[in-house]
Amino acid sequence: MSDNALVPSTEVPLNDAALIPKLTRVPLKGLPSSAFQHPLDRQATENLKKIKGFDWLVGKFIEYGFERIDYITHIGDGIRVGPRQMAMHYQMLRECCDVLDVAEPELYVMQGDVNAYTSGHNHPFIILQTGLLELMDDDEVMAVIAHELGHIKCGHVLYKTMARGLKPFIEVAGKATLGFGSIVGAGIEAGLSAWDRRSELSADRASLLGVQNVQPCIKMLMKLAGGTTRHVQGLDSQQFLNQARAYKEGLDQKTSDRFYRFMANMGSTHPFPVERARALDEWVGSPDYNEILSGHWPSPMPVVKMKSCPTCGLQYPLSELFCAADGTPLPVH
């Protein structure tokens, strides 16, 4: 990170609910999502669009009004954050939108576990659950908000909403189409799940760009992995980062371990927190990150050599060993 990227703020808070004293963050006006989108997210998105019937299922999802139902449910069951309602969190949202150059979405707080998510492709809104607000400090909550704005900026929201409600939607579509929707949906579910996990890597990068300090991002991931309010003083983010680095080095040695890691991830909506911390640790030390903070976006991504799944034909980087859609071993190069 460049030395002049962060400087002490002299701005006087407008009210008592304003943010605690902080470092001034560099606004990234005109930042394109392509500048920070993770290559695995980009490739998973392309693979998803190639799956037969996916466009049809997306159209049905919109046609049946699932997005509107989701919105009505949330605005009726949460607190909308604004200038006079949880004003500190509203200021966090506004600053992150400013930094990442994202139009301000609605922000709600709902009772729930340690979780946050974004919904509403045409009318985006962010949900912070109370368990997360209890566990995270203010900087970590801001990192979460920036993460969710990353999903909006990268155009993830429609697919993320589908991923959360896919099973009941497939049932409805199946009944309305004499079973055709169920057949199509079964093939899409695995591909959408694989994309869902990889989209988180891009949103993590947006989180780092939003707060421009890697520590809250790593601490946030550490608490998602195993944080408790009672034992928060005993947590050490540097030890967690060491664990993340050792995890990659240890499990990349054997093909069998890489296969077990692949299988363990398949049933999850997110990559393991240690994997996300390791990916963020690698990116914060990269030239791309520092160039973005300096106002220079990376040049278009170079063409990456890929290999095809022999079963479904989806494309993957040469480092991948198994197809995320059907588990087929990929050719070794």
Nearest-angstrom CA–CA distance, 303 and 305: 7
Work out the angle at residue 246's Cα, subtended by the Cα atoms of residues 326 and 204, and round it to the nearest 5 degrees. Answer: 65
Residue 292's pLDDT is 95
Q: How far apart are CA 94 and CA 152, in angstroms?
A: 14
More confident residue, 177 or 195: 195
Among 100-109, 173-182, 270-279, name the one with the lowest average pLDDT.
Answer: 173-182
129: left (phi over 0), alpha (psi -120 to 50) or beta: beta
Catalytic residue (one of 148, 189, 200, 275): 148
Which domains can be identified in the chain, with CATH numbers?
29-219 (3.30.2010.10)
Residue type, 78: G
pLDDT tens-digit readout, 239-285:
999 998 887 665 555 554 454 454 445 556 668 899 999 999 999 99
Q: Fill in the amino acid letter for 130.
A: T
Residue 329 has what pLDDT? 72
pTM for this entry: 0.77
Bridge-based pairing of strands 125-129 and 116-119 is antiparallel
Q: How far apart are CA 141 and CA 240, in angstroms?
A: 19
User: Across residues 221-250, what is the average pLDDT?
Assistant: 88
Average pLDDT over all residues of the chain: 80
Q: CB within 8 A of 80, min separation 6: which ones? A: 106, 107, 108
Query: Is 148 labeled as catalytic in the residue annotation?
Result: yes
**Structure token pair of residue 192:** 């959408």
